[in-house]
Amino acid sequence: MTAALRFDPIRLPPECEQLRKEVRAFLAEEIAAGTFDPNKPNREDTDAPEFSRRVGAKGWLGMTWPKKYGGQERSFLERYVVTEEMRVANAPTRRFFVADRQSGPVLLKYAPEHIKMDILPRICRGELCFAIGMSEPNSGSDLFAAKTRATKTDGGYLINGSKIWTSSAHIADYMIAIFRTSPPTKENRRHGLTQFLVKMKQPGIEVNPIGQITGQFEFNEVVFTDYFVPDDHVLGEIDGAWKQATSELAYERSGPERFLETYYVLTELVRAVGDKPDTRSAEGIGRLVAQLHTMRRMSVSVAGMLQAGKEPVVEASIVKDIGTVWEQQLPHRVRDLAAFVEETASNRETLEKQLEFALRTAPKLTIQGGTTEVLRGIIARGLGLR
Amino acid sequence: MAESENIVVETAEKIFADLADAQTINSDTTGSWKAPLWQALSEAGLPLAWVPDDLGGSGASLAEGFGVLNAAGRFAIAVPLAETMLAGWLLAQAKITSPDGEMTVVPASPKDRITLNADGSLSGRARGVPFAKAAKHFAVLAHGNGGISIALVDAAKGRIEAGINVGYDNSDTVTLDKVEPITIKPAPKGFDQTTLMLMGGVVRSLQIAGALESMLDISVRYSNERVAFEKKISKFQAVQHNLARLAGESAAALAAATSAADAVANATSFDDAVYLEAASAKIRCAEAAEKGGAIAHQVHGAIGFTMEHILHRYSLRALAWRDDFGSESHWAVELGKRVAARGADELWPLVASR
């Protein structure tokens, strides 16, 4: 066999179910207290710093990290449960989500000890928001074409250039970014980029909001002008960011956020058709639920394999590929079925409002965090095609 | 279940590799491969794998049997192994001893119904019964006034109208007209036709997932051999992306089917959660059979469309298997109704419970 893909039928262990109850109870309290409305999915421009702190106080941020950095040393499967429950409830996770999923793990691996001791506990307490500085105006999927320079100076580097499509840069306290420290070599065009920890809200950084087709201002252009980064903010090997960029991707690609982004419209459709759906509605809902269940089983399987110390890189890319295509199509399929919902359905207005937002959101889902084309290239490599 | 540790699955794989090579079978117009294959499978105790020792079987676990059937899908096995295993499993539910030889289950569709008459005979018609013509016995699920019964029936007592499915395997209409069963016993409490269809659906899902694995494998190999426009077609991005999608469909089928098999293997009853797993597997695997099979053919071009090439042994069987034990349309409607009856706010808890 050329391609031995594995999706072991991994089940969440019993401790996850207790945790799930706690998360649901917490979210129900937050909803009751008016922190957020689960029927309003346009959470992306909702900054909820107090909510973030309360999630941190629960011990649900950085929960897999070592205790000495504020973590709980719990499993990735437990983190999985927290993530999916927050996502399904449309909780306002923007402030902490990137730090918890991505930036924290990078710091854990590459930051000097004193920086880890300083920053990681604050992420765990829900006090810090992170952004990711990858794309540039002429470098999106082609990450290694990045041009924004980091020029060596006394005690650090001077940054000049710009990043773009940077989610949450307007509220972020830090950014983890890649900058060019050397030109690429003939042998290796990926050479010459270095990963840095960047403190935001400082002179030399300008954040310009960019309007999105959803009507939100959630991503930004970030312009650096002689912005100083001290030496100890270099993360990992100088010129060697390309070696570091791939290892964490399996976590980033296969989580529940990769297929649940538009889930709310399915719930609302089920509500709208009532308890005795006609054949067409039942068939449509049945298929969508079967697809959702399958996606989740694949995603849990990858999470379980990661927890077991395996490296299911191709499997994780597959989860993101078919998960994002699915969540992109979901609002359209729900719209197909909503055409037959009774005018008198009590939640008709909610469903229509949600569909409007989901249809506007859908195009980005197969672009953000690695396009479908890039993912399929990775899968093709895993299959031995390139 | 780690396959490398599983001796039952390894035994089956060895027999398939030795006696059911797709190329050899595809070139053989006489059907002479069937008897030695069946004999080897029987000697290894595989057709009655799901029958306990005291009922005439080899007493393998559900998980082991599911592993065998996933492998059978990878080899697109065209003898009634899955059907005999299912029949033995069904008979064992009512503690009925399984005979030797090929069997199949009646009915094989949720729409058909066999009736247990007041005089103890069985009547009814079942369409699309896989390998009925090859079977020596039927394991029958019948509805009577006293509830559900399970019966062992001599195949010669039924009227069989032979049919051929999309994958060129027998899919026959079986008519029972006041047929006296060899043995008949009441089904255990809670066991009904839906239980049998769900189990059959999980079996077919595993076979489809296996066939897709092989389709991916032979498509990747072919793309690395075939040259067009002066390069291997695997170097074209359009082909790479098609194969990546085939890998996705194969992965989805595998995940859905093995998850459902695991759910059934560990279940104490066919509750809502097992229903979700089994129905979803059949729905998703059927969709994957369509999408994945189309890509495998696209990659192969005209050669894959010939009888001479082995691709159709997998692609057409995967399509045909969609129809058995309830099509994806049937299960989608039933699952949709269940989800709607539970209510919108109970959907996520159901999904998250798995």
- Give me A167's structure tokens: 């989610």
Closest CA to A10 of B273, B154, B255: B255
DSSP E strand stretches across A126-167: 130-133, 149-153, 156-167
Alpha-carbon separation of residue A268 from A352, B276, B337, B348 (angstroms): 9, 20, 15, 12
- Give me A105's structure tokens: 């793990």
d(CA B269, CA B277): 13
- Min Cα distance B348 → chain A (Å) is 8
Q: What is the pLDDT along chain B (354 residues), one digit of tens a residue?
A: 444 458 999 999 999 999 999 999 999 989 999 999 999 999 999 999 999 999 999 999 999 999 999 999 999 999 999 999 999 999 999 999 999 999 999 999 999 999 999 999 999 999 999 999 999 999 999 999 999 999 999 999 999 999 999 999 999 999 999 999 999 999 999 999 999 999 999 999 999 999 999 999 999 999 999 999 999 999 999 999 999 999 999 999 999 999 999 999 999 888 999 999 999 999 999 999 999 999 999 999 999 999 999 999 999 999 999 999 999 999 999 999 999 999 999 999 999 999
Q: What is the pLDDT of residue B4?
A: 45
d(CA B106, CA B193): 10
Q: In A, which residues are within 8 Å of B276 by CB distance? A: 289, 293
Contact A314 B247 (CB under 8 A): yes
Contact A2 B217 (CB under 8 A): yes
Q: What is the pLDDT of residue A343?
A: 87
Chain A residue closest in CA terms to B219: A2
Q: What is the pLDDT of residue A3?
A: 53
Chain B residue closest in CA terms to A82: B352
Q: Which residues touch B223 (CB under 8 Å, ≥6 apart)?
A: A385, B232, B233, B234, B239, B243, B299
Residue of A1, A7, A82, A378 to mutate, testing the B interface (most B Cβ within 10 Å of its Cβ): A7
Q: Is A76 on the interface with B (CB under 8 A)?
A: no
Q: In A, which residues are within 8 Å of B245 by CB distance? A: 321, 376
Secondary structure, 3-state, B246-309: HHHHHHHHHHHHHHHHHHHHCCCCCCHHHHHHHHHHHHHHHHHHHHHHHHHHHHHHHHHHCCCC
Say which amino acid occupies A366.
Answer: T
Q: In B, which residues are within 8 Å of A274 by CB distance? A: 340
Q: What is the pLDDT of residue A43?
A: 56
Q: Which of residues 312-371 of A touch B (CB under 8 A)?
A: 314-315, 318, 321-322
Q: What is the pLDDT of residues A124-133, one digit of tens each?
A: 999 999 999 9
DSSP symbols for A93-129: -HHHHHIIIIIHHHHHHHS-HHHHHHHHHHHHTT---
Q: What is the pLDDT of residue A245?
A: 67
ipTM score: 0.97
Chain A residue closest in CA terms to B333: A283
Q: What are the residue ranges in chain A where pLDDT is below 70?
A: 1-3, 43-45, 245-251
d(CA B314, CA B249): 14
Domain ranges of chain B: 1-77, 102-189, 193-352
Topology of the domain covering B102-189: Butyryl-CoA Dehydrogenase, subunit A; domain 2 (2.40.110)
d(CA A95, CA A375): 27
Pick A20's closest partner by Cβ from B237, B337, B352. Answer: B352
Q: Is A375 on the interface with B (CB under 8 A)?
A: yes
Contact A2 B221 (CB under 8 A): yes
- Min Cα distance A278 → chain B (Å) is 9
Closest CA to A79 of A99, A100, A106, A93: A100
Q: Is A284 on the interface with B (CB under 8 A)?
A: yes
CATH class of segment(s) B193-352: mainly alpha
Contact B332 A290 (CB under 8 A): yes
Q: What's the count of helices (H) and strands (E) in chain A, helices before strands?
A: 13, 8
- Min Cα distance B345 → chain A (Å) is 7
- Give me A199's structure tokens: 């403190």
Q: What is the pLDDT of residue A2?
A: 47
- Min Cα distance B308 → chain A (Å) is 22
Residue that is written with structure tokens 């597959």 in the block: A318
Q: Which of residues 157-216 of B touch A (CB under 8 A)?
A: 213, 216
Q: Which of residues 124-143 of B touch A (CB under 8 A)?
A: none
Pick A385's closest partner by Cβ from B243, B251, B340. Answer: B243
The three-point CA angle B92-B94-B95 to 5° equals 55
Pick A297's closest partner by Cβ from B255, B335, B336. Answer: B255
Q: What is the pLDDT of residue A141?
A: 83
Chain A residue closest in CA terms to B274: A293
- Min Cα distance A212 → chain B (Å) is 29
